[in-house]
Amino acid sequence: MPTITKTITKKDLVNYITDALTKKQADTHHALSEEDHSQRVKVTKVLVKDVIQSFLDKITVELAKGNRLEFREFGVFEVKQRAARRAQNPRTLEKVQVPAKRVVKFKVGRKMREMVEEDEGPHGQRTAGHGAAEMSAGG
């Protein structure tokens, strides 16, 4: 089983995206007229954080409605019904009934799967070399 090398938080994503967009704006700054420059949105960490949170909130709302979300090359989120089943408490060995419930499934897209399965990531990081084709969230 591959080891996790680093946990990336929402804050880390906000910082990365803010830095990337700020650099992109700086690269195009010289090509903008004064009018264009004054109308550009200043990229701040607060703005990026709000955009990411809105995106995550919308995903959650749509999944709660039972909708399927497809992000080409990235993957597909969908809600599946897990059947009721009998299970066993490993500590007491007591048989218990687990009720049916809805769970979120994520199917990895082709591009993500290929990148995860590569021996080396896009920025030179070593990867485990094994990518899961499907994983369950909220199970």
Tell me, yes or no, whether 73 and 50 share the same domain: no
- Spatial contact of 40 and 30, defined as CB atoms under 8 Å apart: no
How many structural domains comprise the chain?
A: 2
Which range of residues forms the domain containing residue 123? 66-139
Task: For residues 115 and 38, give the distance between their C-alpha atoms in angstroms, rounded to a whole number.
Answer: 39
pLDDT at 73 over 80: yes
- At 129, the pLDDT band (50, 70, 90 cuts) reads very low
Q: In the listed set 50, 65, 80, which residue is the last one of a domain according to the structure?
A: 65
3-state SS class at 133: coil
CA distance 40 to 55: 22
Q: How far apart are the first and last CA of the chain?
A: 19
Q: What is the pLDDT of residues 94-109, one digit of tens each?
A: 999 999 999 999 999 9
Q: For residues 58 and 7, which has the higher predicted lDDT (pLDDT)?
A: 58
Q: Is the pTM of this model over 0.85?
A: no
Q: Which of 32, 49, 65 is the last residue of a domain?
A: 65
Q: Is 70 exceeded by the pLDDT of residue 138?
A: no
Q: For residue 129, what is the DSSP state? A: S
Please report where in the chains the tokens 């009720």 appear, as a residue: 99
- Those residues whose C-beta lies under 8 Å from the C-beta of residue 96, and which sit 6 or more positions away, are 86, 87, 88, 89
Residue 25 maps to a domain = yes
Query: For a pLDDT cut of 70, what percent of the chain falls above it?
Result: 70
Predicted pLDDT at 22: 80
Same structural domain, 112 and 129: yes
